[in-house]
Structures are given as C-alpha cells and as structure tokens.
Structure 1
C-alpha cells in the first residue's frame, strides 16, 4: 500500500518560529498524480508559501502543480500534482513543500492530510495510508542557577528558586533528590531545610521547573557543617603607616559558618591589644610588626589570622633628631 507522510522540519517550535513541512510519498506501485488537502489549526500555524516537490522533476518528468490556500483565517491548503504525459514514479519523493510559521497559541497542534487521491500509472485511484504530524508549539521555561550553599546542622536554610516562562505559562517546581526533612513548594519554588547531625556533608540536589509541556533543570550543592566548626578570621592586611599615625584595622569578612562570632581580639605586636571588631592603633616606633586577629564563635571555637604592619618614620621626626 502506498504511504503519504507529513514530515515537519522540527517537532518542537517557539511561537512565531518558521519551519518547513514536506509531504512525502512512498509508492507501493507507480504513481502518476496526487491530490490532497493539508489541514491545520488557524491559531497554530500560518502558511507562508507552498512549493512543488521533486517527486516527478528529479526523474526528469515535467509535471503540472497547483495550490490553493483558503481565505483568512487559513486552516487548509489544497495541492495537486500530476505528471505530464504517460509518466509515473515508483521511488520515494517529496510531492510538495510548505513553508509555515508557528502561531502565538501554545500546545500540541496537528498537521493532517485529508481528501487524498493518488493515481497509479493507469490514472486509476491507488490505495494509501496516511501518516500525519503533531507539533508542539511552546517556549521552554528557564530555571536560574540557584548557586551553592552552606548551613550548620540544626540551622535552617531557605532560598527561593527563580524561573520564568517566555509564554507566561504556569510553572511547577520539583526536586529529584530532595533530602529527608527538606521541603520544596511546587508553586512558589521556596526550598526549606533544617539538616540534622546525621546529614553533615555535601548534598547534590537536582531541581526542575516545568510548564505544561517542557522543562529546565539546574543542580546545586548544599554543604551541611558540623555544629563545632571554627569561625573564619579575616584580617584584611597587610597594613602600612607612619610613626604616630593611626591605622584603622578591619575584620570585615570574618564569619562563623554554623553560628555567630561573639568576640574579637587584636594583638598589634607592640604590646597593645584590643577587643573591638575594627579598632584603630598608632605605633610609637618604626619597624615591621606582626598583627594577629583571633575570633571566637558562640560554641567557644577560635580562629586566628595574622598579617604584617610596616611603620616608617615621619619626615618631621627625622628633622627633629638633627
């Protein structure tokens, strides 16, 4: 039995995207002509142009070809092709090529053949079967990378997944590898988790956002820290100044991964100390000093970082000594 097939250049389109549809014939007996209607939903597609295929011409056979698109809103196109003279074709080929543009409506849209007539070498009707096409018109949603996270055991981590859909479709969030005790709101994309001591370590999570048809995925890493993790001291050195001039020391960047820093202690290397987070200090003599910052968290853990301080003489002090 002959087969006549609708073959789109792609089966998934963005709204407004152009594509090509070929109508192909696989003969089971010699074919001398074909006629058919191409049906489509007017909200789903626009026919830009219709061209003759190479079913007859690639064999050097002249053919008569006609086409007609019904009035707006177009929902079908009629095509007719027949060999001129006593000619026929027994090989697979394209009888017509249709250039189309996807409409603004989203969803699965059909492109179907109707009222098909195939003629054999005696110009008599030949039996056939039809293979229609179904194309998805939709824009893929986009899920923004959520980043990486750290949280201490017993503390709560919460963040919001961010996604958008070019077609403004409703979106559903999900996670393939949601840890025990964690939750993900499928509508808002809010993730919440308070890991336990047994969950200390790295966890890889795969998130997905989906509209009615298409989806996007992103992964993230969440590191669960033990509650006795030491804080991190950041001394922001080295420092330079002159004798008698104040240096403003900076502890910004110091933090505790699983709690809070409760105390700061600075040792300026010249016998003086401070318990302020960002103290100032003036050195009485030139030279190179080692300054140290020690921070303590709410679990009593300590961390120390050191840096250098270079002090030069001032010009007036040199003149005064003469």
Structure 2
C-alpha cells in the first residue's frame, strides 16, 4: 500500500511518497474430528489433528469437556462413565502476530447404553415336553438389538433366533444362555442372560414283592421308591378291596376277608409334570388257614379197632389237604380216616396235622385228641334227650363195646325207680322231671379186670300235651258247624294239624 502527500507550493518537490505492507490474516479452521460411539468408561481420543491454519500455524487448542474441565492438547485421551450423547467443543487460534484469529468446532460422543438381555424365567419340564425359549423381552435403551444367540450345554446346536422351540430328552439340570448384541459395536454392545432348565426325572415306585399271608392285617412299605431329583414324594395306596385309598410311605391295612387282592402304589413328586407320577402293582394273597379236626376224644378196649376221621377238616380256600396222623405210639398214617388198634391199655395223644398244597407256614394246622385204651368193656348209654311224660322211648346201648366185640348183658337203672334190660329196651317216664339213666354192661371176664362198665345219660321229661275240643252240639243239615281245638303242654309250632 503507497501513501503520496503533496503540499500547495507548486514547487517541483512538493510531493513525497511512502509505502507500507498490509498482511490480511486467514482464520484457522477447527476440526474436532468425526462423531464417536464408545462404551462407558472406555478410553477414547479427541484429536484436532485435522484443524489447519491456511497462512500460518495453529498456536493453541482448547477442548471443552463434558465434566466442565478443559484440555489444551491437540490430542486428548478421555472417558465418560454415564451413557448418553455428549457435545465436546474445540477452539483453535492461529499464530498471527497482528492478533490471533480463532475458530470453533464440536464433536458428538455417544456413550452407549448396553442392551438388556432377558432370557425369561427358569423352567421345569418333563423329558420330551416342548420348551419355548423367548428373548423378545430383551431391549436396547438407545438403539436396537441386531443379533440374538442361544447356546446350550446339552449338545443342542446354537440358535441365532429371538425365539427357539426345542425339547430335552435327558433328565437333569441344564443351562440355556442368551447373548444379545446392539448396533453400537462397542465393548458393551454384547450382554448375556441365562436360565436353568430342570428336566424332571420320573420317580420310581416300589411296593415291594407280592405278599402271601394268613393274617388279615398286612403291612406295606413303599420306602424302596425314589425320586431321582430328591423331591418329597406322596405315596398313595389302593389296597384292591374297595376301601378308600390311603397315603403314607409305610402303612398297615386290615383286609375284610381271605382273598387275592391287586394292590397299587402310586407315588407323586408333586411337581405336576407329565412324568411326575409312577405306579407299581403288587399282589396280596390273604390265605385262610386250613382247620384240622381230628374228632372228639375216644375210649376203646385194647385190641379193638378204632376208626379216626379227619373229614371235618377244611381249607377255606378250597385247596386240597394232605393229612398226617401221629397215633402217639410211634405209628403214623397219611389217610383221611385211618383205623388203628391199640394193644396196650393207657392214654395216648393222637395228633392230626394237615397242610394245603402250598405247604407254607400259613397253610398248616393241627389238632389233638386223647384216646383212652382200656382192658375192660366200655359202656355207651346214648345221648341226652328231652321227652314227654308217657312217651315211649327206645334206648340204645349198641355203641357199647367189649374187647371180643360182644357185650354179654345190659341193665339200666332209670332214675325214677324203674329198671330195664337189653341193648335197646323201650321205656316210659310217667312223671315230668329230670332223670339220670345209668347203663351197666357186662363183658368177658379176663384176668383180674372187672367185666363191668357204666355210663349215664340225662333225660328231661316234660308234661304230656293235652287237647280240648269245643263244638256246637247242634247244627242245621248242610250248613257249616263251628268247632275249636286247643292243645296244651305243647309248643304251638309243633301243632301241625287238627282233624
């Protein structure tokens, strides 16, 4: 730039010229760099390296940071702990001596808010049941989820889906992990969540082996049952006899009768799964013991055959019985009705043992009778009777015996002052009352033994019945005539006809 001054003298040297140089400073250009996306507390670099001064150099840098502080370096390392979008300002000045020029720029730093992975609640399923794993509740607070990935620890293939449907074949406790990734692409863009899938193991019911017993009260024990997962079990017994089911691990039940009963034990682990229950069936056979009946005590003469009879022995279950007689003198028999001759006088205990075809401890029974073996004859006066006065009675002493089979004489004292002789005499009691009839028999006289023996029978004599007939003494011909008969001294149930 030139300056010329001139005076007004008009003289030749009335002007003077001077020059100066003017420099027009070009302002610097601030460049804070591209926008950044980082994770919380992640180190990032603010760089003003791209800032320029067209006609000089950048003399100073001032960064205005989100926490209110400043930094004066061209390159600044920084971190921000809270998610959000932050504006960071940059001011640069050049080195122009005539007065520095400045420029401003800013950069946006986004601190990523991590996505939230939600794999759902833990699951309890049975083997083979469908399981839907759903990650749709996952979200990204400041963007969107761009990837889902499920991984499994039971060998099932990884799945890159938000929702996966699958099943588990093997009981146990398994883990399913969900990994979600957002669009930021920074350190906290990927997060995970996991759930536990418990695949229920079915319980095992054990009602123990079949039971066979002769007792109506039966004890049951389900303690051999087990829940593979350690769950508390509920035991329910059905006893097979129509009674209501009952619960309990160990329990007793009283059966109403002898029979075969199908028993079931159901156990429940209480989890409500399709495989939460198990059933075990067993059988209870309640046997009725056979009943041995050897007959009554017996008296017999030595050398005389005696017939034993076990026909009244029974097996309530209808089984075939086997018999074993022990006659008390070292001899035995397996017949139902064996005969036996005792040669030696005295008392013998005869034992009858029976058993059914099962030959178990509850399939046996025994009975004992006493046999008195005498040398002399044995009188048998007959059974006790109830009769009416003046009723003809036939006495029977034919069951009396002697060693040689023949009774030589029979005599009876009737108890009312009368007597009778013979094996089967007839007699009438005229007066009501109670009478003891004594039978005396005479057998063979052998050695020093007495040939006589006595036995008694008791008779109750009731008043003889009588009847009264009442009738019209006159009646018209061809018309009914009324009459009535009354029987006294006889139970009305015994009156069968009036003629």
Question: TM (normalized to structure 2)?
Answer: 0.31
Larger radius of gyration: 2
Which protein has the bigger strand share?
1
RCO higher in 1 or 2 (8 Å CA, sep ≥ 6)? 1
